[in-house]
Amino acid sequence: EDQVTQSPEALRLQEGESSSLNCSYTVSGLRGLFWYRQDPGKGPEFLFTLYSAGEEKEKERLKATLTKKESFLHITAPKPEDSATYLCAVRISGYALNFGKGTSLLVTP
Amino acid sequence: DAGITQSPRYKITETGRQVTLMCHQTWSHSYMFWYRQDLGHGLRLIYYSAAADITDKGEVPDGYVVSRSKTENFPLTLESATRSQTSVYFCASTSPLTSPEINEQFFGPGTRLTVL
């Protein structure tokens, strides 16, 4: 059974304090690992897709990396506007996604 | 409006009533999905559709019915609502043709459903 586990559940950072979020996955044949951002009261917003171990994607202060068993979302010098819940997912049947429970990030000034 | 929309945004109903949540997308995406989001469970797939008249079950389909007569619409019906179906429901869509390298799903704003 495909499984996605995210850690930590919640993370509090000071502005400028870099850190990483973890997503470990168990799938038979990865067909895509996805990162989304979700703000309160809104739908998830796409950030990255990764397919192969060693692959990296960057966007502003965020960088996603992938190994054979896990993915990391690195946040460099975060700002308060980076506060959100970050969701990790793997592609399953068709183009459906199996999501982890998310990491709630709070960045304080 | 361009994009993906859901209606209603908020709904309160009673146990046993039938409720239909609507989802509409303007991109002609072939794939559409319904997820529910609950504290402690994250997003879970209810049903998905690969094209008009093609639907398939996800992780938590019991108590729900879907149809897709037109590409742009994907309604979700709770035939007899139960309290355990109180949740936030998200619709999403994607097309393997328009972004084959990325395959991102575009999510609607969600419908918050409360079953009393």
Looking at residue B84, what is its pLDDT? Answer: 97
Both tokens of residue B35? 């997820």
Of A42, A39, A32, A40, residue with least CA distance to A71? A32
Set of chain B residues whose Cβ sits within 8 Å of the Cβ of A96: 33, 45, 48, 58
Residue B42's alpha-carbon distances to A9, A33, A63, A85, A101, in angstroms, are: 11, 16, 23, 11, 4
> CA-CA distance, A43 to A8, in Å (whole number)?
21
Find the residue in A nearest to B38 (Cα): A101
List per-residue pLDDT tens for chain B, 116 residues long. Answer: 579 999 999 999 999 999 999 999 999 999 999 999 998 888 999 999 999 999 999 999 999 999 999 999 999 999 999 999 999 999 999 988 877 677 889 999 999 999 99
Looking at residue A29, what is its pLDDT? Answer: 84
CB-neighbour burial class of residue A40 (10 A; exposed 0-12, middle 13-18, buried 19+): exposed
Find the residue in A nearest to B47 (Cα): A96
User: A42 vs B31: CB contact, 8 Å cut-off?
Assistant: no
Set of chain A residues whose Cβ sits within 8 Å of the Cβ of B107: 43-45
Residues 6+ apart with CB under 8 A from B100: none
Taking residues A93-106, report their average pLDDT: 92
CB-neighbour burial class of residue B116 (10 A; exposed 0-12, middle 13-18, buried 19+): exposed
**A90 φψ region: left (φ > 0), alpha (ψ -120 to 50), beta (else):** beta
Tell me B89's DSSP state. E
Looking at residue B51, what is its pLDDT? Answer: 93
Band of residue A93 on the pLDDT scale cut at 50, 70, 90: confident
User: A96 vs B109: CB contact, 8 Å cut-off?
Assistant: no
Looking at residue B21, what is its pLDDT? Answer: 98
Q: What angle do CA A95, B32, A52 make, to 5 degrees?
A: 20
User: A96 vs B48: CB contact, 8 Å cut-off?
Assistant: yes
Find the residue in B nearest to A92 (Cα): B58
Looking at residue B1, what is its pLDDT? Answer: 59
Taking residues A26-48, report their average pLDDT: 94
Residues 6+ apart with CB under 8 A from A40: none
